Amino acid sequence: MSISTEAGSIAAQPAFLAKERIIAKPGFNRWLVPPAALAIHLCIGMAYGFSVFWIPLSKAWGVTTAVACAPGTRFIEQVFSAQCDWPISMLGWIYTLFFIFLGCSAAVWGGWLEHAGPRKAGVVSALCWCGGLLISALGVYTHQIWLMWLGSGVIGGIGLGLGYISPVSTLIKWFPDKRGMATGMAIMGFGGGAMVGAPLAALLMGHFASSTSVGVWQSFVVMAAIYFVFMIGGALAYRVPPTGWKPEGWSPPAKKTANAMITHRHVHVSVAWKTPQFALVWLVLCLNVSAGIGILGMASPLLQEVFAGKLLGNDLTFSQLDAAQLAQVAAIAAGFTGLLSLFNIGGRFFWASFSDYLGRKNTYFVFFALGFALYALIPNLGHLGNVALFVAAFCIILSMYGGGFATVPAYLADLFGTQMVGAIHGRLLTAWAAAGVLGPVLVNYLREYQLSIGVERAAAYDITLYILAGLLVLGFLCNLLVRPVADKYFMTDAQLAAEQALGHDKGADSSTVLQWQASESSRPWVVAAWLAVGVPLAWGVWVTLQKTAVLFH
């Protein structure tokens, strides 16, 4: 009898990855959660830096020089050929697939994540992202590009989506008093992933390169192992607060005095995406990201073509520069790109934290109004030849591009409540996928058109920048139309209780308020956790600053 009772007790225990197993106990320090999120975001953020592999991969077969496919080779034959090198245009599909599947997976599995919990989602993300790198390594080793598309692009893209949204709901629940700052800390890591991963990849490729190999597949294997350790560590460190938990000494503002844009109730994900507020915030994010990602993609050629010889102290146009001068200008532009990445990262934390005081809607007003002024001003700064102001304007724009990503989860939590904000955020990320196509296509095709009709290179971006400024005007109007969500969309008490049961939010009912002081013994763990993610990030910043120094010489 006792044996069967014990067996039944064991069977009733939730699985190791289940959400019930990660509900925090009294004394848990909430500052352990942001570094767990950063550990995952710093790894998957390498998606931004994947272009560091393009040139080595474009000569993976020839090693020293690229071996072109025979004339007349069809696209499908190139996909399966193991006898010639891939053009960068084919490799670039990996980057496109990253963000398509990031948006799709976040939208499709966001609801599952809310019920399964961040630990399980983090582990699945690690398996997909790191497993995708291993499949890509096999693709390079066997010289089959379709394996890289499948491995990093599709499977890795799914890992990106799950990893990206895994901490959102959890962080917002742990930091109801600092929603923007909490999400800004995590999403800052996604922007910083390339700063750590790109120089690491360069070091590994340099180490493994030989007369018979460019060192990419070996680098994929090592990076997969390193990332897996960090991502699993982050996933296992996740904890969720019990229902009703509040920070010690903090209580929500009284409903009579609270900001009308911040709700105390909750909207189900299946209802949220049908509301006008969701559509408007989707457009707000899409337009802000379209403008920013368009600038990010053309930053390096834009600086080189607009200023050309002025970067070297002469008045030569871009077409008049010789090979040595072009190399110098390219190095300066690389420093410019590095500087933009720093502002992209810093903006994620700064603007998201600032939104806790200014309000999410007002923060987006700043993005659109200030962004419009800067986009409209940049062409004049280029014609005046003022490099310093030109660079400063771009840095501010990129800070707001990053800030838009980091602020939007808190905006959604304000409008729709915190119960299913991770799932709602997942659906919203389809705006990112759309912007990832709209922004670069708009910028690249407009530039090509301008050059084809004889416009000088230095002026070819003017119309593009004015059109991007117009996108920000549309974003401003969409943000202006955002109003508090109507009562009919919110869950009833019974529906909320049922959702909390599905989400394993046990330990208290929604009317209970739990508060505790973080235990003294947790402080060394907090320091260790922040060092584990802070040291790699600081190294990445230092390497980037060294590259950026070229811009000021």
> Residue 357 and residue 33: Cα distance in Å, rounded?
22
Distance separating the N- and C-terminal Cα atoms of the chain: 81
Given a contact cutoff of 8 angstroms between Cβ atoms, the answer to whether 406 and 190 are in contact is no
Give how far the C-alpha of residue 263 lies from the chain's centroid of Cα atoms, to the nearest Å: 26
Whether the per-residue pLDDT at 276 is higher than 70: the answer is yes
CA distance 402 to 355: 13
Q: Say how many C-beta atoms besides its own lie within 10 A of residue 104's C-beta.
A: 17
Please report which confidence band the pLDDT of residue 8 belongs to, taking 50, 70 and 90 as the band edges. Answer: very low
**Mean pLDDT of the region 296-311:** 76
Among candidates 387, 386, 354, which has minimal Cα distance to 370?
A: 354
| pLDDT tens readout for residues 88-129 | 878 888 888 888 899 899 999 998 998 899 999 999 999 999
Q: Exposed e or buried b for every residue in 519-545, given b needs 16+ CB within 10 A?
A: eeebeeebeebeebbeebbeebbebbe
Examine the pLDDT at 3 and tell me if it is beyond 70: no
Q: Which long-range contacts (CB under 8 A, 24 or more apart) does 245-253 make?
A: 245/24, 245/173, 245/508, 245/513, 245/514, 245/515, 246/176, 246/513, 246/514, 246/515, 247/30, 247/175, 247/176, 247/177, 247/515, 248/515, 248/516, 248/517, 249/515, 250/176, 250/177, 251/513, 252/176
pLDDT of residue 508: 45
Give the residue-averaged pLDDT of 299-316: 79
Residue length of the chain = 553
Over residues 412-422, the pLDDT tens digits come to 999 999 999 99
CA dist., res. 76 & res. 460, Å (int): 35
Mean pLDDT for the stretch of residues 288-302: 78
Q: Hey, what are 220's tokens?
A: 């994929």
CATH 3.60.15.10 fits 24-67+74-247+259-496+503-552, yes or no: no
Name the band, by pLDDT with cuts 50, 70 and 90, for residue 323.
confident
- CB-CB contact of 175 with 123 (8 Å): no
Question: pLDDT digit string (tens) for 520-549?
Answer: 889 999 999 999 999 999 999 998 888 887
Query: Cα(201)–Cα(211) distance, rounded to whole angstroms?
Result: 19
Average pLDDT of the segment spanning 46-62: 87
- For 458-507, the three-class secondary structure string (H helix, E strand, C coil) is HHCCHHHHHHHHHHHHHHHHHHHCCCCCCHHHECCHHHHHHHHHHCCCCC
Which of 111, 185, 116, 103 is CA-nearest to residue 424?
111
Token duo for residue 203: 């070091």
- What's the CA gap between 66 and 86, in Å, rounded? 8
Looking at per-residue pLDDT, the higher value among 229 and 500 belongs to 229
Give the pLDDT band of residue 12 (cuts 50, 70, 90): very low
Residue 347 has pLDDT above 90, yes or no: yes
pLDDT band at 2 (very low <50, low <70, confident <90, very high): very low
- Residue 41's pLDDT band (cuts 50, 70, 90): very high
pLDDT higher than 90, residue 165: yes
Query: Lowest-confidence range among 194-203, 297-306, 491-500?
Result: 297-306
pLDDT at position 257: 45
Task: Give the C-alpha distances (Å, rounded to integers) separating 265 from 215, 244, 276, 548.
Answer: 53, 13, 17, 47
| Interatomic CA distance for residues 35 and 46, integer angstroms | 17
Place of tokens 């004049």: 380
Per-chain mean pLDDT for the chain? 87
Instruction: Return the amino acid letter for 477.
Output: L
Number of H helices and E strands in the chain, helices first, is: 21, 0
Residue 513's pLDDT band, with cuts at 50, 70 and 90, is low
Query: What 3-state class would DSSP assign to 446?
Result: helix
